[in-house]
Amino acid sequence: MKHVIRTSYVRMFRMLRWGLRPTGLLAFLETRNNRTARWLRSLFAVYDLDDLVHLDIPWWTFEAIDAIDAFLEDRPNARVFEWGAGASTIWLSRRAAEVVAVEHDAEWANRVKGYADALGNVRLHMVAPARQGMIGSGKTGFEGQFFDEYVEFIHCIPGEFDLIVIDGRAREACLSEAVSRLAPSGLIVFDDFKRKRYQTALARHRFHIRQLDGLSACLPLPDSTALLSLADT
């Protein structure tokens, strides 16, 4: 049922975008420098990588987008690791010195790679799920798939990271691995923060949690993105 609703939602906004483009409304929204206009325009870019890259909008809450933008502005040499590639990968590459992203979906990774290859500061790795392992995903539809290598890939990259983005599969396990690789003054971006299984996972760790709720890119209803920092910093 959720898949049907999502497909209908995406189709509706694609049709509206096609119909509204000649009116100039979409172009007008792009010129407005305010959050409501950015949000309205993003609704027409749902699940459209090209349009989101064009708009320079990652799929987080706008409160989080602005906070992360400010964080990176103060750190021009920032290193970023990201579980779950997409428009955010390109957005981050425009603001950080280095972005390492890992993606589990080969088709989606190839689409993002088209942009990443043109950038000098992005390394995109495709790590497919396995049929056996210890780390599964709580998301419906991923039963029988294991993400051990995907989760642990962060340890293949030496050094600390100023920003770690957890926005892919097996997020609870990714969080556990991220703790030891985060720079002392760094941030972890944890999207869809309100999901119960994520809150349970976060309770096992000692973080300062900044919960940023509100309008979210591409979504008609409010969502939640959290910024996590180490509790002893």
Domain-by-domain residue ranges, the chain? 2-48, 62-230
pLDDT at 4 over 60: yes
Question: Secondary structure of 98-165 in the HEC alphabet?
Answer: EEEEEECCHHHHHHHHHHHCCCCCEEEEECCCECCCCCCCCCCCCCCCECHHHHHHHHHCCCCEEEEE
Question: pLDDT confidence of 18, banded at 50, 70, 90?
Answer: confident
How many secondary structure helices (H) and strands (E) does the chain include? 10, 7
Which three-class secondary structure state does DSSP give residue 3? helix
Q: What is the pLDDT of residues 56-93, one digit of tens each?
A: 999 999 999 999 999 999 999 999 999 999 999 999 99
**H or E stretch at 164:** strand 161-166
Q: What is the pLDDT of residues 177-217, one digit of tens each?
A: 999 999 999 999 999 998 888 888 888 888 999 999 999 99
CATH class as words, domain 62-230: alpha beta
Question: pLDDT confidence of 139, banded at 50, 70, 90?
Answer: confident
pLDDT at 5: 72
pLDDT at 28 over 60: yes
pLDDT at 118 over 90: yes
Record the pTM.
0.94
